[in-house]
């Protein structure tokens, strides 16, 4: 006889979001808002201080922004000011296993992995870091005003969970699978990515839905980017994921608004 309480098997594919009942989603949101209330004001994304006291992430040293140096004309100079030539600051050196922060953005991908000790659950909605959660909630409220009821099917994911999911995907799809990140290479484990669903659906159904289109169009206003665009699998190493959004902060998203197929790797000028 089968037991009714048997836990359903998890999906093979890393980011195939698991449908969640709206009732449960609202419960999570309500609980998260309480959490959020206690954490607002304790964040500074530029220096990556998430306000999580004792968090290893706070040890990540923020590197100065790559601001082009501008030559200042001397006072009273009769010659016209030449157009300044931006001098790109060299990229910071990547030390394997250490957080790789470029221009204030923590880059996590297959070539820039991070040790488990730096990956901590955030205090926000579904384990997002405080600032990412704050802006996710703003986006969710704005979406709801337009009749799009979105929720997160996967926010933070632990290193152990990622290890299991990666192993399962490699067994099922082979070593070159483009669905799951190896442990230490997932933005979910840093609490900086959200897989978004809506009442209209999850996964590719979300991408094709009106609510998915709304999020794709408006996420930049809240500091989020579509992380794995349709035409950039060769750069990102991942298939198109219309549900996976990464928080990088509003000060960085204008370029992604102009070019919705832009990748974070291209924006930062790294692999
Ligand atoms: Zn995801």
What secondary structure does DSSP assign to 185-252, as a single string? Answer: --GGGGT-EEEEEETTBSHHHHHHSHHHHHHHHHGGGGTEEESS-TT-HHHHSS---TTEEEE--GGG
Check residue 89 and give its pLDDT: 74
CB 194 within 8 A of CB 122: no
**Mean pLDDT across 239-248:** 97
Check residue 69 and give its pLDDT: 44
Residue 75 confidence (pLDDT) above 60: no
Phi, psi of 245 (to 5 degrees): -120, 135
Check residue 22 and give its pLDDT: 44
Cα of 50 vs its chain's centroid, Å: 14
Cα 44 to Cα 81: distance, rounded to the nearest angstrom: 36
Average pLDDT of the chain to the nearest whole number: 80
| pLDDT range class, residue 239, cuts 50, 70, 90 | very high
**Other C-beta atoms lying within 10 Å of the C-beta of residue 96:** 11
Cα 42 to Cα 163: distance, rounded to the nearest angstrom: 31
* Environment class of 72 (CB within 10 Å of its CB; exposed 0-12, middle 13-18, buried 19+): exposed
**Mean pLDDT across 46-56:** 37
Check residue 15 and give its pLDDT: 53
Residue 78 confidence (pLDDT) above 60: no
Residue 241 designated active-site: yes
Unique residue bearing structure tokens 């703003």: 138
Candidate from 100-104, 141-145, 173-177, 199-203 with smallest mean pLDDT = 173-177
Residue 263 confidence (pLDDT) above 60: yes
β-partners of residue 109 are: 112
Give the residue with greater pLDDT, 49 vs 96: 96
Q: How far is the CA of 136 from the centre of ligand 1 (A)?
A: 15
Cα 77 to Cα 241: distance, rounded to the nearest angstrom: 54
Cα 270 to Cα 110: distance, rounded to the nearest angstrom: 12
Catalytic residue among 14, 131, 137, 241: 241
**Mean pLDDT across 168-174:** 95
Q: How far is the CA of 243 from the centre of ligand 1 (A)?
A: 7
* Radius of gyration, CA atoms only, the chain: 20
Q: How far is the CA of 3 from the centre of ligand 1 (A)?
A: 31
Candidate from 61-70, 76-85, 136-145, 221-230 with smallest mean pLDDT = 61-70
**Is 69 in a helix, a strand, or coil?**
coil
Q: How far is the CA of 194 from the centre of ligand 1 (A)?
A: 6
Check residue 52 and give its pLDDT: 32
**Is 55 in a helix, a strand, or coil?**
coil
| Cβ contacts of 22 within 8 Å, gap of 6 or more | 149, 151, 199
Using alpha carbons, select from 266, 189, 197 the residue that is nearest to residue 227: 266
pLDDT digits (tens, 9 = 90+) for 91-136: 999 999 999 999 999 999 999 999 999 999 999 999 999 999 999 9
**Mean pLDDT across 8-24:** 44
Check residue 271 and give its pLDDT: 85
To the nearest 5 percent, what fractions of the chain are helix, strand and coil? 35, 10, 50
């Amino acid at each position: 006889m089968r037991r009714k309480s048997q836990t359903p098997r998890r999906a093979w594919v890393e980011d195939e979001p698991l449908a969640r009942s709206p009732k449960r989603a609202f419960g999570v949101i309500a609980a998260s808002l309480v959490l959020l209330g206690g954490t607002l004001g304790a964040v500074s994304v530029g220096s990556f201080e998430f306000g999580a006291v004792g968090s290893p992430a706070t040890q990540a040293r923020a590197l100065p922004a790559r601001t082009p140096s501008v030559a200042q004309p001397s006072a009273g100079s009769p010659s016209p000011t030449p157009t300044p030539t931006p001098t790109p600051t060299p990229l910071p050196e990547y030390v394997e296993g250490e957080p790789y922060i470029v221009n204030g953005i923590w880059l996590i991908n297959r070539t820039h992995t991070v040790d488990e000790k730096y990956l901590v659950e955030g205090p926000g909605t579904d384990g997002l870091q405080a600032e990412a959660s704050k802006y996710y909630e703003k986006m969710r409220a704005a979406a709801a005003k337009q009749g799009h009821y979105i929720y997160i099917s996967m926010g933070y994911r632990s290193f152990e969970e990622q290890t299991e999911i990666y192993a399962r995907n490699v067994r099922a799809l082979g070593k070159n699978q483009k669905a799951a990140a190896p442990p230490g290479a997932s933005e979910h484990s840093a609490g900086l990515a959200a897989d978004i669903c809506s009442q209209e659906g999850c996964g590719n159904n979300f991408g094709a839905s009106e609510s998915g289109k709304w999020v794709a169009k408006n996420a930049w206003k809240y500091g989020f980017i579509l992380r794995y665009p349709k035409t950039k699998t060769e750069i990102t190493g991942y298939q198109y994921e219309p549900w996976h959004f990464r928080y990088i902060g509003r000060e960085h998203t204008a370029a992604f608004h102009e070019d919705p197929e832009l990748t974070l790797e291209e924006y930062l000028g790294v692999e």
